Amino acid sequence: MHDPDCLFCKIAQGKIPSRKVHEDEDFFAFHDIRPAAPIHFLIVPKRHIPSMAQLTAEHAELMGRMVVLAPQLAQQEGCNPYPDGGFRTVVNTGTEGGQEVHHLHMHVMGGPRPWARG
Ligand code: 5GP
Ligand code: ZN
């Protein structure tokens, strides 16, 4: 369920402080410490899943709910409405995929351009 050495498990459990965006039974969302856009937060499942590479059919419902949560939280955090506003979602997987923290997470980035990175 949790990996005692995992940074995002510790954040999701409140053992390491973060700027919380949302919490429910299955998900925790918090602002990225190094934002690449005016609005940049991460959504993580509370249970430890290292990356998308470990997903099986058993995770389909959980991942579906994570995707549905993204636009709701983007609106809550002030992303401008679609189509002139919107947001970017990114899930990095593995070293060559740019993943630095090995607990599955979805980046949600938005706000007026230009952005700091990307
Ligand atoms: P990845 O490259 O694994 O897709 O993204 C990891 C993200 O986690 C990075 O954007 C990085 O800024 C963010 N991050 C790393 N350590 C912390 C932390 O301690 N707190 C918060 N809020 N974000 C972090
Ligand atoms: Zn974890």
**Which tens digits make up the pLDDT trace of 24-36?**
999 999 999 999 9
Distance 60 CA to ligand 1 centre (A): 24
pTM above 0.75, yes or no: yes
Indicate the number of domains in the chain.
1
Q: Hey, is 97 helix, strand or coil?
A: coil
Q: Is residue 117 part of a domain?
A: no
In angstroms, rounded to a whole number, what is the distance separating the alpha carbons of residues 64 and 7? Answer: 24
Q: Is residue 1 part of a domain?
A: no
pLDDT, tens digit (0-9, with 9 covering 90-100), for 49-91: 999 999 999 999 999 999 999 999 999 999 999 999 999 999 9
In angstroms, rounded to a whole number, what is the distance separating the alpha carbons of residues 102 and 54? Answer: 11
Distance 22 CA to ligand 2 centre (A): 17
Give residue 22's domain range. Answer: 7-110
Task: Report pLDDT for 6.
Answer: 98
The pLDDT-based confidence of 118 (bands split at 50, 70, 90) is: low
Task: Report pLDDT for 107.
Answer: 98
Domain of 77, CATH number, reads 3.30.428.10
Q: Whose CA is nearest to atom 21 of ligand 1?
A: 33
